[in-house]
Chain A
Amino acid sequence: MAGKKITEPCGESDVYREEILDHSRNPRNKRKPDQVTFSSRKANMSCGDSINFYVYVGDDSRIEEVGFEGVGCAISMAATSMLTEDVLGKDIEAVLAMGEEDISKLLGAKIGPTRVRCAMLGLETLKRGIEEYRGVRELRRPKTQDTSYR
C-alpha cells in the first residue's frame, strides 16, 4: 500500500448495500450441520469477532455440508455467510487457493485496508480447518511400502 493514495480506507461505499446487509441479518448456513468431518475456530480479538466453521467432506474431497456459528460485524458475518454458499460442492484444495479477490467478488465490493480482516475472517477460519484436516489425514494414511528406488 506504500505510496498508494487512500481515498476510501474502509472500502467502496456500497459495502453496506442491501444484499450484504441481508446476509448479515439472516446469515445462510448459520448452524452446526448433522455430519461434521472437521471444525475450526478463529477469532479476531481486536474486533471481538469469532467464527466456528463446520465442514462435512465427501469421499471425493468435496465439501458436502457446511455451517458456521459466531459473532461479528456485518462484513464478517455477510462474507462468511456468502462463503458457505460458495464453497458448497467445492474441492477443499480449491478452497485453499481462495484469497482476498474471491471474497471481494463474493461481496461485490472492494474491501479497504481497515476492514479486510473482518472480510477475511470466515475464509481464514475455513482454510485453517482444511489445513488441520489435511494434516491429520496425512498422518492417518497407512504408509505404503515404496520399494521403487531400491
Chain B
Amino acid sequence: MSWLKGKDRKKDFPTFRSEWHTARPYHYLDSAASSLTPKQVLDAMCKYYRKYRANVHRGMYRASAIATQEMESAREKVADMIGASVEEIVFTRGATEALNLVAYSLSREFGEGDEVVISIMEHHANLVPWQQMAKQRGFRLKFIPLAADRASLDMEAARTLIGPQTKVISVVHVSNALGTVNPVAELRDLARQYGATFIIDAAQSVGHRPVSVKELDCDFLAFSGHKTYGPTGIGALYGKKERLEKLEPFLFGGDMIEEVTKEDSIWSELPWKFEAGTPNIAGAIGLGAAVEYMESIGIEEILKHEREMTSYAIRKLVAMPGVRVIGPGNIEDRGGAVSFEVEGVHPHDVAHILGQKGVSVRGGHHCAMPLMQELGVPGTARASFGIYTEKKDIDALIDGIEHIKETFKV
C-alpha cells in the first residue's frame, strides 16, 4: 500500500493535486480544523450515489437494501473502532450536534441546585450548549480552570469544584487549541464518585490516537467525521446502551418512531431513536470508509507519525527567538495541534502571510474564546498535522515565520 512508503501518503489525497494549478506550494497544516479526505472515502461515497442511490430502511428493493446494509456496516466499523456495540453509535452531523443532543436531552431534569462542570479549555461545541441549557433550566455551569503552567487543567481546583451537586462532567479529551491531553481517567473517577454523568468531546482524539470507550468508561463520547479523514456533515455520538435507552430523543420526525397515532408516538429502537429524518447516508458510508482507511494504516502508526511531526515542529518553533509555543511542550503526551505566537504580530497577520507562502495554518481563537481570554491573547496561530504531513511542510512553516519576522522587523 502506498502509504507505507511514507513519501507517497499524499497521493491518497486528491486535493493536493488540485492545488498544483495555483503555482504555489500547498503545505496543509490545518488538520485540527479538518483533515483531508482520501480517495478511498470519496470512492465509497461516489459509489453510493452512482450505484445504489436510494433511501435507507423500509425500501423493498435492491438499491435501498444495499444502502441500508452499507450504512449499518459503517456504523459497525465506527463501533468497532472505539470499542462500542452497534446500537450505541448514533450518527449525527458531527461532534457539535452530538454534544447538543446530550446537553439538551440530559439536562431536561436539571434545575436549581444542580451543576454541570466543564473546563476552560472547551471548544465552543462543548461550552455553548451547556451555557444555554443552564440559562434555560436554571442549573449552574462551572469551569475547571487552567493550572499554573497555563497548558493543563488545575485538577486540585477540579476536585473542589466537583461534588454531590455535580450532575455532569463534560470535558475535551485533546484540546484543539493547545494540544493538551486531559486527564480523563481521573475526571471519570471523580464523576463516578459523585454519580455524575461523564462525557468526552473526542473530536481531536478519535482518529488520531487509540480511543476505547470501554477503557475510558465514559457515558457519552462525541466526535466528527471530517476530523478523522471522513467527509463533512457526519459524526457520531457514543452513549452507553443503558444511558441511551433512558435518554429522551432530541429531534423528532421520520425514522425515529416505531408507531405514530394522532395522539402519541412510540420511539424506535436504539440507535434510530436519535436519528430523525433521512440520515446523511453518503456521509455515514464515507465515515465507514475512513475508518477502514485509518485501520489499513493502523491507529498506532497514525499516532506515531503525528507525534513525530508535532515534536519536530515544537523543536523548531521553540528554537526561534520571538516565537512562543502556547500549550504543552515536547515532554508531555500531547495532540497534533501546536499553537504559537510570533511576538508583536497578530495571529491573523501570521496566518495571512503564511497563506501567501502556501502554508495553510489557522489564526484566531479556534472556537475557544473563553480560553483565549484566560490566556490573555487575542488568539494564536496554529499548525496541526495529519498522516500526510511531512517534515518539509513544517520547514516551510518555519521559513514562513522567518519571513514574517523580517517583514515586521520583530
Which chain A residues have a beta carbon within 8 Å of chain B's beta carbons? 7, 9-10, 13, 15-16, 21, 25, 45-49, 71-75, 114-115, 118
Contacts and interface: CB of A to CB of B under 8 A. Distances in A.
Contact of B349 (A45, A46, A73): A73
B353 A73 contact: no
A21 B408 contact: yes
B407 A46 contact: no
Interface in B284-300: none
B372 A10 contact: no
A115 B365 CA distance: 15
Contacts of A74: 345-346, 349, 408
A45 B346 CA distance: 14
A15 B352 CA distance: 10
A109 B122 CA distance: 38
B356 A10 contact: yes
Interface string B265-285: 000000000000000000000
Contacts of B409: 21, 25
Interface residues of B, number: 20
B348 interface: yes
A71 B378 contact: yes
A75 B349 CA distance: 8
B231 interface: no
B24 to A, nearest CB: 10
Given A10-B355, A46-B364, A48-B372, A118 B348 contact: yes
Contact of B352 (A7, A45, A115): A115
A73 B407 contact: no
B257 interface: no
Contacts of A118: 348
Q: Which of B364, B365, B369, B378 has the most CB of A within 10 A?
A: B378
Contact of B346 (A10, A73, A114): A73
A9 B22 CA distance: 13
B359 to A, nearest CB: 13
B94 interface: no
Given A10-B355, A15-B352, A16-B352, 7 more contacts: A10-B356, A46-B364, A46-B365, A47-B348, A47-B379, A72-B346, A72-B378
A16 B353 contact: yes
Interface in B385-410: 407-409
6 contacts: A13-B356, A46-B365, A47-B364, A48-B377, A48-B379, A118-B348
A58 B379 CA distance: 39
A15 B348 CA distance: 13
Nearest to A50: B378
B331 to A, nearest CB: 30
A25 B365 CA distance: 23
B296 to A, nearest CB: 34
Contacts of A49: 346, 378
Q: Which of A21, A46, A73 has the most CB of B within 10 A?
A: A73
Nearest to A76: B346
B355 A48 contact: no
B365 A48 contact: yes
A99 B36 CA distance: 38
A89 B162 CA distance: 60
A25 B410 CA distance: 11
Interface string B19-31: 0001000000000
Contacts of A45: 369
Contacts of A25: 408-409
Contacts of B379: 47-48
B378 to A, nearest CB: 3
A110 B67 CA distance: 48
Contacts of B364: 46-47
Contacts of A16: 349, 352-353, 407
Closest 7 CB pairs of A and B: A48-B378, A73-B346, A73-B348, A10-B352, A74-B349, A73-B349, A13-B356
A9 B372 CA distance: 25
A74 B407 CA distance: 12
B361 to A, nearest CB: 13
A48 B347 CA distance: 10
Contact of A21 (B22, B346, B355, B407): B407
Nearest to B346: A73
A7 B407 CA distance: 23
A78 B94 CA distance: 39
Nearest to B345: A74
A73 B347 CA distance: 8
A74 B344 CA distance: 10
Contacts of A75: 348-349, 352
Nearest to A16: B407
Nearest to B353: A16
A118 B348 CA distance: 9
A115 B355 CA distance: 12
Contacts of A73: 346-349
A45 B355 CA distance: 22
A115 B369 contact: no
Q: Which of B352, B377, B407 has the most CB of A within 10 A?
A: B352
